[in-house]
Amino acid sequence: MKIVVAVKRVVDYNVKIRVKADQTGIELAGIKMSMNPFDEIAVEEALRIKEAGKAKEVIAVSVGPAQAQETIRTALAMGADRGILVKAEGEVEPLGVAKILKGIVEAEQPQLVILGKQAIDNDCNQTGQMLAELLGWPQGTFASKVELGAGEVKVVREVDGGLETVELKLPAVVTSDLRLNEPRYASLPNIMSARKKPIAEKAPADFGVDTAPRLKVLKVSEPAKRQAGVKVANVAELVDKLKNEAKVI
């Protein structure tokens, strides 16, 4: 069976984010970019399923600018077999990405789609759920464990109250959480061989998708700086500050 893994090019998680002076977004000039960490976990899980003999091919897909090819190459260096880059300039909203992925799924006919649960740049946590709805497939989100069986996949989900186990009939959509696995480092020979693996280039129009934004960002600003703490003389003063200054009681 085939597995499709969606990967996104984002600002590297080690980089300190800076807001543009005009507050229209974050500063990207000269900033190191890398694969979204949750997507890296998704790639690792797909590769482990393949190495267990339960899948024959892993396809890495990215929607973004031409530079997103580097992100796909990272997935190929980890062990993915081929890539598909859907070129789109500017920010593509989760619904647009989900519609594009739907078109790719219909063309490739995979039995499993794995995505990161969210991207660290917008934290939307929407694409996997939207894709499952568009396809009419079952979904297992926030996965901390994935077990593939005959015609089904068992997913242990991280929920507010602890863990929830769901059993999904294939084909299905799974989104990965942090504790699903520890992604591998790509070896130098694999990095070199990844250059020879094919990456097909597509456009949103190939799937009949209009990526024009439906939302308008009015302003991006840094969070307010944390104020210094103060010492209180007694419990009465503490209660007074909590009630009248912090207004939390």
Q: pLDDT category, 245, cuts 50, 70, 90?
A: confident
164 has which bridge partners?
A: 157
Stated pTM of the model: 0.88
Q: Prior bond to 110 cis, omega within 30?
A: no
Domain boundaries, the chain: 2-223
Check: CB of residue 31 under 8 Å from CB of residue 167.
no
* Count of C-beta atoms within a 10 Å radius of residue 33: 17
Is the model's pLDDT at 81 over the cut of 90? yes
Average pLDDT, the chain: 94
Lowest mean pLDDT among 45-49, 182-186, 224-228: 224-228
Check: CB of residue 143 under 8 Å from CB of residue 177.
yes
Strands (E), 104-217: 112-116, 139-148, 152-159, 162-169, 172-176, 199-202
The pLDDT assigned to 248 comes to 87
* 23 conformational bin, left if phi > 0, alpha if psi -120 to 50, beta if neither: left
More confident residue, 77 or 29: 77
Q: pLDDT category, 223, cuts 50, 70, 90?
A: confident
HSE of 162 in the Cβ direction (CA atoms, 13 Å)? Answer: 3
How far apart, in Å, are the Cα atoms of 207 and each of 54, 159, 243? 29, 34, 57
Check: CB of residue 100 under 8 Å from CB of residue 216.
no
Select from 145, 95, 102 the least CA-distant residue to 122: 95
- Written out in words, the top-level CATH class of the domain with range 2-223 is alpha beta
Write the pLDDT tens digit of every residue in 10-69.
Answer: 999 999 989 998 998 888 888 999 999 999 999 999 999 999 999 999 999 999 999 999
Q: What is the arithmetic mean of pLDDT over 209-218?
A: 91
How far apart, in Å, are the Cα atoms of 205 and each of 5, 17, 86, 99? 21, 32, 10, 11
Is the model's pLDDT at 247 over the cut of 90? no
The pLDDT assigned to 202 comes to 97
Q: What is the arithmetic mean of pLDDT over 83-88?
A: 97
In the sheet with 199-202, reading across from the earlier edge strand, the strands are 162-169, 152-159, 139-148, 172-176, 112-116, 2-6, 57-64, 82-87, 199-202
